[in-house]
Structure 1
Amino acid sequence: MPTLFKGGPDPLVADNFMDRVEKYLNTMNLATNKLKITLVTYNFVGDAEIWWKTISHTHNLDTMTYDTFKKLYYEKYFPAPKWRELKKEFDGLKQGNMTVTEYKNKFTSLLRFVPGIANDEERKIEKFVDGLDLTIRPIVTASEQTEYAKAVRKGLVVKAENKDSKVIRKSYKHSRNMSAISEVQSHKKQKNEQSGFRG
């Protein structure tokens, strides 16, 4: 079973807990609402346990559905204003100073708050690519990826290629500068030798 859930103010902790619990419940293939609810609430401690005791006094647990339980849980630990805030954060998400990997991780963590995009591969790719850095976006767009995972990989490859080409350009520029300095020094040396010869 997943780790214990203490409650608290961070809705992402609550959502992650429920996500892990549901994966576990799905592998068990449980049929009854009561058994599902019992298994989830068994992991409640602290604030979550106190909240659940309050719910058990105000609701009939024998007739409660799992969907009702989840609705109550999310109303308590993941209120609608916080959900809207995270959705808004996703809507405005851009790569900015993040690496492609950091951007992808942030994108993925916020994606679950916009199920309309999460469940639509084309819109998901479009949103991901739209948030990429301007040096990467055109190349990923031109590659016309039809799978989200491939679009992410393409973004990582393009970023790596851009980085490599910058290193090569910098190295080339450095060697040109060194060559120019060497040429100037050689020219000065020749001049000095000539002026010394004349003297």
Structure 2
Amino acid sequence: MPTLFEGGPDPLVTDSFMDRVEKYINAINLVIDKLKIILTTYNFVGDAEIWWKTVSHTHNLDTITYDTFKKLYYEKYFSAPKRRELKKEFDGLRQGNMTVTEYENIFTSLLRFTPGIANDEEGKIEKFVDGLDLTIRPIVAASEPTDYAKAMRKALVVEVESKDSKAIRESYRHNKSTGVFSEGQSSKKQNYE
């Protein structure tokens, strides 16, 4: 069963709740609209439960369709201005100081608000790659990934390799400045002694 839904201002929680409910509805192959509504509203508590009681007094629950119910639900808890705001956030999304995994998690959670890109594999790859850090982006783009999963895997590999290379360079600089080298390494200073 889906978790309880209290309502509130977070559109991601609103959308996530409905996704879980619909996943459950599909899993049990529920097709009757009235039962879908009962199942969904059974999980309402707090503000959501109060809202639903109000709606149930103004709508005929015997004839309301599940699509109408969802429309009312999204109008209340996921308004068009909130969707536009999240789309703007997605449009401006950049990896910045995040890891590739953190960036990808936010990318994926915001992607649903841009159906044009979400339904277009090429556009999705392009947007993901364009938002990557400048040290990762050119390598991933040059690999010309043909699907989103390949772009993500390549970005993760490049991130790990980049961190390893940076650690090696920093270790070398530190050793060079202190004159301490591991076996097999030497400095010009040591070669002339």
CA distance in structure 1 between the aligned counterparts of 2:169 and 2:8, rounded to whole angstroms: 51
Structure 1: segments with no counterpart, 5+ residues: 188-199
The C-alpha deviation readout for 1:18-77, integer Å capped at 9, x for no partner, is 111110001011111111111101111111111111111111111111111000000000
Q: TM-score, normalised by structure 2?
A: 0.91
Cα distance in 1 for partners of 2:132, 2:77 equals 32
| Counterpart residue number, 1:145 | 145
Q: Residue 93 of structure 1 aligns with which residue?
A: 93
Going from structure 1 to structure 2, the CA distance change for 1:113 and 1:101 (only over 3 Å counts) comes to: same
56-65 or 125-134: bigger deviation: 56-65
- Distance in 1, Cα, partners of 2:187 & 2:145: 47
- Whose helix proportion is higher, 1 or 2? 1
* In structure 2, distance between residues paired with 1:34 and 1:97: 47
Matched to 1:158, the amino acid is: V
- Name the SS for the 1:135 alignment partner: coil
- Partner residue, 1:80: 80
Pairs aligned (count): 186
Overall identity of the aligned pairs, in %: 77
- RMSD of equivalent CA atoms: 1.8
Return 5+ residue gaps in structure 2 as ranges: 181-185
* Aligned-residue offset at 1:150: 1.2
Distance 2:128 2:34 in 1: 40
| CA distance, structure 2, for counterparts of residue 174 and residue 11 of structure 1 | 48
Q: Map 1:65-144 to 2 at 5 A.
A: 65-144=65-144
TM-score, normalised on structure 1? 0.88
The residue number in structure 2 matching 1:7 is 7
Could you tell me which residue of structure 2 aligns to residue 63 of structure 1?
63
- The separation in 2 between residues aligned to 1:6 and 1:169, in whole angstroms, is 51
- Distance in 2 between residues matched to 1:12 and 1:172, nearest whole Å: 46
* Structure number, greater radius of gyration: 1
Give the AA of the match of 2:147: E
After superposition, give the CA deviation of every residue in 1:103-123 in whole Å (9 maximum; x if it has no partner): 111101111111111111111
- For residues 119-198 of structure 1, the aligned pairs below 5 Å read 119-177=119-177, 178=179, 183=189
Q: Check 1:38–1:145 CA distance in 2 against 1; reply closer, same or farther (3 A cut).
A: same
SS of corresponding position for 1:9: coil
Q: Which secondary structure does the structure 1 equivalent of 2:39 belong to?
A: helix
State how far apart, in whole Å, the 2-side matches of 1:155 and 1:93 are.
16
For 2:41, give the aligned amino acid.
T
Query: C-alpha separation between the residues in 2 aligned to 1:136 and 1:164?
Result: 13
Q: Deviations over 1:80-104 (max 9, x none)?
A: 1111000000000001111111111
Using the alignment, how far apart are the partners of 2:163 and 2:47 within structure 1? 49
Post-superposition shift, 1:176?
A: 2.9
> Structure 1, residues 134-162: CA drift from partner, whole Å, max 9, x if none?
11111000101011111011001001111
- The alpha-carbon deviation at position 175 of structure 1 amounts to 3.0
